[in-house]
Amino acid sequence: MAERVSISAGKKRNLKLLADPEGRFRMMAIDQRGSLKRMLAKVMGIEPDDVKYEDLARVKKIITKVLSPYSSATLMDPVYGYPYSIDYIPKDVGVLLAFEETGYEKAGPNGRERRSRPIEGWSVEKAKKAGANAVKLLIYYRPEASDETLKHQQEFVKRVGEECERYDIPFLLELVSYPLLEDEIAASPDPEKPTTDTPVFARRKPEIVMKTAAEFSKPEY
Amino acid sequence: MAERVSISAGKKRNLKLLADPEGRFRMMAIDQRGSLKRMLAKVMGIEPDDVKYEDLARVKKIITKVLSPYSSATLMDPVYGYPYSIDYIPKDVGVLLAFEETGYEKAGPNGRERRSRPIEGWSVEKAKKAGANAVKLLIYYRPEASDETLKHQQEFVKRVGEECERYDIPFLLELVSYPLLEDEIAASPDPEKPTTDTPVFARRKPEIVMKTAAEFSKPEY
């Protein structure tokens, strides 16, 4: 029998603001940072590190302005996105703010494990003050990682979840897998740039997803 | 020359959520407590104190359900209104929550001065968590009141204003005058129930309004 989950009025109101009038979540994500920087660099014929803050902010602003009105809620990052794009979010469109720093810290015995970090100086309290209707956290996760990395990622999720509960704001957890084991690396076309786009990873993925979902479905989160 | 007022992004977003798409504030107030109780009592042929919590909450719920969709924002009280009405506020309609306890504390040399109090256990932080886009404070004010009463009301406004600033939430101050001086009381049809609906009060009102506005336009608020 499913457990009844009670939900605060404030959180319920926020969930409503994220959904369309039919109650469906039609969210638009424009919180990409590292990947958008690499795309822009390619188009501009420069190195990713040479892409200027203003260019990234401007591209996000334009995309937000054009696409946000078609979404029930728009996911922004607080660094390049929110300051320049918030004025273009219509009043009937909800606001989600990303919590995690872009990318990851390399860790583990082979340096291929990924640990997430918060954006420096950012907090759930600040997201709430900025008018966010939800906080989104992207977490890299492989159940096969070392105990230290697993614990690091689990503690991070717990901490952000607790903060969200304190501020009555919905918490959206985005769990992302990545290539980690030797055979996954070896199967990648360029082992220097391992990818999940291989048969060996595809075969393993259902198990990864189920184990990851099982972990974060525990009541302590 | 007018001073430039800077406004935080969170507060600006909230102001947008209170306005209609043309930027006009079309607000519906259903935060009346004492007066609505008296109206209900009259209709039901009972004493105001005998009006049940459920009846007041139900009337507010029905009014909110019917009228809120026509407003750009709806003002509710957190005691009888919010818990039962919040589900009927459409997602494109903003939420204002009242801060003051209904009525007033009698004070001053003739017992006719009015001092405001917060709703017990309520705070700007809780209003923000509940999903409010603004906090509204009704303050009774007569510049002719005793220094103690003036100070009490001024300090109350300052405290709520500071809390609103801390949580980046707009602060709506509703200043209300009331009959206080002897000639205003004497001119009332029933001096036991003094009213502002007299020629002597009407003549004095412009001065009351200007002095009150001057006080609360000071930079310390």
Q: What mean pLDDT do residues B14-43 have?
A: 95
CB-based burial label for A15 (10 Å; 0-12, 13-18, 19+): middle
Q: Which of B217, B220, B219 is nearest to B209 (CA)?
A: B217
DSSP type of residue B108: S
CB-based burial label for B93 (10 Å; 0-12, 13-18, 19+): buried
Q: What mean pLDDT do residues A156-164 have?
A: 97
Distance from CA of A79 to the nearest CA of B (A): 13
| Pairwise CA distance, residues A170 & A189, whole Å | 40
Task: Answer yes or no: do A82 and B129 touch at CB < 8 A.
Answer: no
- Domain ranges in chain B are 9-179
pLDDT digits (tens, 9 = 90+) for B186-200: 999 998 999 999 999
Q: What mean pLDDT do residues A56-70 have?
A: 97
Q: What mean pLDDT do residues A22-28 have?
A: 95
Q: What pLDDT score was predicted for residue A7?
A: 86
Q: What pLDDT score was predicted for residue A60?
A: 97
The mean pLDDT of chain B is: 95
Within 8 A by CB and 6+ apart from B94, the residues are A91, B14, B17, B18, B19, B72, B73, B74, B133, B134
A19 band by pLDDT with thresholds 50, 70 and 90: very high
Write out chain A residues lying below 8 Å of B128, CB-based.
128
Q: Is the pLDDT of residue B164 over 70?
A: yes
Least confident of A58-62, A80-84, B5-9, B163-167: B5-9
Task: Tell whether B52 is within 8 A of chain A (Cβ).
Answer: no
CB-based burial label for B41 (10 Å; 0-12, 13-18, 19+): middle
CA end-to-end span of chain B: 20
DSSP type of residue B5: P
DSSP A143-157: TTS-HHHHHHHHHHH
Within 8 A by CB and 6+ apart from A110, the residues are none
Residues 58..97 of A with a Cβ closer than 8 Å to B: which? Answer: 82-83, 86-87, 89, 91-92, 94-95
Instruction: Let me know how many helices (H) and strands (E) chain A has, helices first.
Output: 8, 7
Task: List Cα–Cα distances, A169 to A78, B111, B128, B140, in angstroms.
Answer: 16, 45, 10, 34
Write out chain B residues lying below 8 Å of A21, CB-based.
91
Task: Tell whether B22 is within 8 A of chain A (Cβ).
Answer: no
Task: List Cα–Cα distances, A183 to A104, A109, A195, B119, B176, in angstroms.
Answer: 22, 16, 11, 64, 75
B6 band by pLDDT with thresholds 50, 70 and 90: confident
Task: Answer yes or no: do A82 and B9 touch at CB < 8 A.
Answer: yes
Q: Is the pLDDT of residue A18 over 80?
A: yes
β-sheet bridge partners, residue B73: B27, B94
CB-based burial label for B74 (10 Å; 0-12, 13-18, 19+): buried
Q: Which of B100, B98, B102 is nearest to B48 (CA)?
A: B102
| Pairwise CA distance, residues A12 & A134, whole Å | 11
Q: Is the pLDDT of residue A2 over 60?
A: no
Q: What mean pLDDT do residues A61-79 have?
A: 97
Alpha helices in A50-181 (DSSP H): 53-67, 82-85, 124-129, 147-166
Q: Is the pLDDT of residue A143 over 80?
A: yes
The mean pLDDT of chain A is: 95
A1 band by pLDDT with thresholds 50, 70 and 90: very low
Helices B34-44 and B53-67: angle between axes, nearest 10 degrees:
100
**The two structure tokens encoding residue B8:** 């935080």
| CATH class of the domain whose range is A99-221 | alpha beta
Q: What pLDDT score was predicted for residue B3?
A: 60
DSSP B133-194: SEEEEEEE--TTS-HHHHHHHHHHHHHHHHHHHHTT--EEEEEE----SHHHHHHSSSTTS-
Q: What pLDDT score was predicted for residue B178?
A: 97
| CATH class of the domain whose range is B9-179 | alpha beta
Q: What mean pLDDT do residues B43-56 have?
A: 96
A3 band by pLDDT with thresholds 50, 70 and 90: low
| Pairwise CA distance, residues A108 & B151, whole Å | 63
Q: What pLDDT score was predicted for residue B69?
A: 97
Instruction: Tally Cβ neighbours within 10 Å of residue B22.
Output: 7
Q: What percent of chain B has pLDDT over 70?
A: 98
**The two structure tokens encoding residue B79:** 């005691």
Three-state DSSP at A139 gives: strand
Selected for mutation to probe chain B from A129, A133, A135 (highest B CB count within 10 Å) is A129
Q: What pLDDT score was predicted for residue A45?
A: 97
Q: What pLDDT score was predicted for residue A6?
A: 78
Place of tokens 């930079």: B219
Distance from CA of B152 to the nearest CA of A (A): 29
Least confident of A77-91, A120-134, A173-187, B5-19: B5-19
